[in-house]
Amino acid sequence: MALISGALGVPAALYLLLPAKSSRKEEWTEVGDLAQISQKTPEEVVFRRKRKDGWKILNEKTSAWIRRISDKEAVAFAPSCTHLGCAYHWEDKSNTFVCPCHTSAFSPEGKVLMGPAPRSLDQYEVKIDGGKILLGRVIQSGENT
């Protein structure tokens, strides 16, 4: 009986006591040259990236709306509206990101201008290396502040 308890108890104790393996490890993905992004309007960039999720390595197609801030700085927004996940787009006429599903509008900085979106646009981690734009994991925005 003690042998059976040990055989079942040791793996269960290890499962409970050892720290969980990082469930979503992101890699940096090069998505283009910063110099090719206009400083006036955000541009949508479509790219493929590898993402490790537990033991699986996913190769997924996704996109980002990139806004160039300066020659060394950019922000990149995740492509889904923070209301129910529709793909939004940039409108030059109103200088806003607009979601066609329920008409949420976001400023060029990603802040909610008009709901029902409950919070700002989510952003990718961004690194600029030798003029190349590198995107990391998506950081979920907090409440609309």
- Contact positions toward ligand FES, by CB under 6 A? 81, 83-84, 86, 99, 101-102, 104, 116-117
CB of 37 to ligand FES, least distance (A): 24
CB of 108 to ligand FES, least distance (A): 17
In terms of CB distance, is 123 or 134 closer to ligand FES? 123
Cβ of 68: how many Cβ atoms within 10 Å?
21
In terms of CB distance, is 52 or 89 closer to ligand FES? 89
In terms of CB distance, is 38 or 103 closer to ligand FES? 103
CB of 60 to ligand FES, least distance (A): 20
Q: Which residues, including other chains, have CB under 8 Å from residue 119's CB and lie 6 or more apart? A: 82, 112, 141, 142, 143, 144
In terms of CB distance, is 102 or 137 closer to ligand FES? 102
* Cα gap 42→137, rounded to integer Å: 19
CB of 105 to ligand FES, least distance (A): 9
* Cα gap 74→120, rounded to integer Å: 17
In terms of CB distance, is 35 or 84 closer to ligand FES? 84
Query: What string of DSSP letters covers 76-118?
Result: EE-SB-TTT--B-EEETTTTEEE-TTT--EE-TTS-EEESS--
CB of 62 to ligand FES, least distance (A): 17
* Cβ contact 137:127 at 8 Å: no
